[in-house]
Structure 1
Amino acid sequence: MKSARATVAKDDVGREGDKFALGKVYAVKLTTGDEFNGIVLAYDSVPNFAMFEEGTKPKPLESKTLRMVNANYITELKDLGRVKDPLAKKPLANLDELIKKEVNGIRDVEKFGVGVTAEAQMIFDAISKTLPARWDNKNILVINEVLVRSPYDSYSVFGGTRTANDRVKTVLKQERKRLQLGDT
């Protein structure tokens, strides 16, 4: 076994960087006796460290084993080839799906009234199944133009066009009846 002083980290002209170029695949032997195959992911000449991904083909992040090796302790490097782009991986998550989940999460949070009664929340939930609705403080804004105020009955419906106002009143009466809340 070669001693640490007999390192193979430098190539014929003394340049470590070319030997540890990104994507080079090596069979590596260390002065400690450890041996492994690895793909070069990074190299820093100042502390003389090389970062290897174990194996000869890039793997997904969750199954990756990394080794950071002081190149002074490498006794043998056997060139096994090169991988095209060791850092190019399939994304762990689809960005469009994440955005969709975020939008849905925000929409779900916006469905909960702050400081409203359980009855008010039930009414909101019932209306929002039929018509687009959102909370505007403790009021329910339906179709972005009709406001339903506490006590959330047909007499508490304000604003919007006559058609929209009448539609909200009708839906509200039906939902209150279905929920057995009555309409005062």
Structure 2
Amino acid sequence: MASALAAAGHRDAISNWTVGNQVAFRTQSGEEVSGCVFAFDRQTNLLVIKENGSHSGVSNLRLVKATSVREVLSSVQPEKPFDLELPHVDLERCRKREEKALQQAEMESARVGHGVTKEAQAIFDALVKTMPCVWRNKVIVVLDSVYVEEPYTPDTCRSDNEHAATRERVKMVLRLERERLGL
């Protein structure tokens, strides 16, 4: 009898995952999810929910294991048949977004010193907020003309005489940032 009830409960749960249903449910971790059932694979118990995106015309697809659903809060069948046609994907726009994301990742990666201390990275992060900086090995290069070497104090700033004013500005900013960071 118990197994018959469990089987009936399983069938009822699967009926919630009919493509096109508007559902709201709570996961095992307590997160509430709502959207339209976009797909459901019975073999893997994988559920795809189409959620509204951050702005008009954009949707998010969320993959959820149906077994991670703790409670179905609502499940409403659509009044008209669900449109199974996939939305148009602008490949050129996707390529540009990917290119922009890769450029951003490269830029962020260049801002991470390799083999430097946490304090050195904190000094770099503080300096880069006020002036362009890059890492060259373990040396911070500011404005392509001032070199700040370990231990990254005003005394370790160097530049040629042509950039003495820039060096003095970097020393002052470095001194203030080190004080602010408690170094």
Scaled by the length of structure 1, the TM-score of the pair is 0.49
Structure of higher CA gyration radius: 1
Q: Whose relative contact order is higher, 1 or 2, with alpha carbons under 8 Å and at least 6 apart?
A: 1
Decide which structure has greater helix share.
Answer: 2
Scaled by the length of structure 2, the TM-score of the pair is 0.49
